Amino acid sequence: MKKYLIRTVKILSLLLAILIAVGVLQEFVLAHTDHNRQRVKGFYLEDKDSLDVVIVGASETYADFSSCYAYEKYGITSYPLASQSSTILNYKAQIQNAIKNQHPKLILCELNGVIYGSDVQLDNDANFRNYYDNTPLDEIKVEGINTYIDSGIATIDEYGEIFEYYNPIVKYHNIWNDWPKWLHWSKGTIDSQFRGYSLLKGAKNKTQVFTTNNKIYNDELPTLTKTSEISENCEKYLRELLDWLKEENIDNVVFTRFPHIVDKTTLERYYRNNYTRKILEEYGVEYLDLERDCSKLPLDLQNDFYNLDHLNVYGQKKFTEYLCEYMMENYGITAADLTDKQKAEWDESVKYYEAYYDYNVDMIKQGKNKEIGESDDQIKKIEAYIK
């Protein structure tokens, strides 16, 4: 009997050691770590119920709006719970996670991930994984993965592939072959975990100024009423999301479209935006369309964008001010009431944001195109700008 007991203990200890080792590898070493992972993980580091605004959606959310600046100027606490090229398939989980962890006064849902004309982006596994790989295992994650698999959009052949969604190491274990490519992001993410909060609150920008010789339609957009259909699946999952919000009586979600430059290459997308607006009207849901109304914003189209779809730090600052004032005026958002510890953390973030802003501006002036976020190497460069 004793022999069997010892053997059982030995086997269990080996299995436990393997489990721990695989867990550590999956979390820190063999994870696909980039700005998406750092941003989503950073969201879970925020103290419960300390955020008044959560912005969900795709890259516009963290390029166009700065949570640090919103706090610095208005005392508003916010966070972009978003990932690059997020599609409508991620939106419900993003809203659910925002509600579950923060109970924010307002959830802004940027609709870029809805206005696709085909399923190409929905079918792209990376767009799904950029978000889901980084959320904790809970009922929201299980529901999101099941929806994705059941949608038939993704081609999933084997149980092994489903297993991968819960155990990303299966997909990313070969990432050692890319080292040191991801190591700075890994280090940045680990630093955030040890620090207990994210320094830049998920912000990431490019140090560019976008210029174009194409005709820009932004001034005429309110008069361009043509519509173009979004893809069948985009519409289906948008309607499901709207039905779900209604069923659950969730009334603090405001759908929005952040500013974009509309030229001939993005005009069709704008028509799809018109189509989406009609769906939202059908549901009686408010739509803060800052693409259509871009000309009303204090933005300089020749200086404030780094590409057609994203603002650079100049635009980000102006847009953050506009949006904060709009939220304060229309949704009663006020400066957050924080504990001393939380204040100290936000103040530290503000310090880094200012340096981040100066670093961005410096790089733009020098004509150096860089992607700046919270990776370990970039943080070191940002620190050089702290006054």
Residues in contact with another protein by the rule CB under 8 A: 7, 10, 13-14, 17-18, 21-22, 25, 30, 125, 158-161, 163-164, 169-174, 176-177
Residue 50 CB, nearest approach to another protein (Å): 37
Residue 138 CB, nearest approach to another protein (Å): 23
Given the complex with another protein, which of 33 and 198 has the nearer CB atom? 33
Q: At what angle do helices 313-331 and 340-366 cross, to 10 degrees?
A: 140
Residue 237 CB, nearest approach to another protein (Å): 23
Given the complex with another protein, which of 21 and 344 has the nearer CB atom? 21
Residue 23 CB, nearest approach to another protein (Å): 11
**Could you tell me where the beta strands, DSSP code E, fall in 151-231?**
205-206
Residue 253 contacts residue 104 (beta carbons within 8 Å): no
- CA diameter of the chain: 84
Residue 37 CB, nearest approach to another protein (Å): 17
Given the complex with another protein, which of 26 and 266 has the nearer CB atom? 26
Residue 179: partners with Cβ closer than 8 Å, 6 or more residues away: none
Smallest CA-to-CA distance from 359 within 211, 203, 191, 193 is with 203
Residue 116 CB, nearest approach to another protein (Å): 23
Given the complex with another protein, which of 25 and 285 has the nearer CB atom? 25
Please give the Cα distance from 211 to 224 (Å, whole number): 23
Please give the Cα distance from 294 to 258 (Å, whole number): 8
Residue 86 contacts residue 127 (beta carbons within 8 Å): yes
Given the complex with another protein, which of 14 and 335 has the nearer CB atom? 14
Residue 125 CB, nearest approach to another protein (Å): 8
Q: What is the 3-state secondary structure (H, E, C) of 208-249?
A: CCCCCCCCCCHHHHHHCCCCCCCCHHHHHHHHHHHHHHHHCC
Tell me the C-alpha to C-alpha distance, in Å, between residue 17 and each of 30, 135, 164, 166, 227: 17, 24, 21, 20, 58
Given the complex with another protein, which of 24 and 384 has the nearer CB atom? 24
Given the complex with another protein, which of 18 and 142 has the nearer CB atom? 18
Tell me the C-alpha to C-alpha distance, in Å, between residue 55 and each of 65, 237, 338: 9, 19, 20
Given the complex with another protein, which of 71 and 172 has the nearer CB atom? 172
263: three-class secondary structure by DSSP: coil
Residue 178 CB, nearest approach to another protein (Å): 9
Residue 247 CB burial class (10 angstroms; 0-12, 13-18, ≥19): exposed
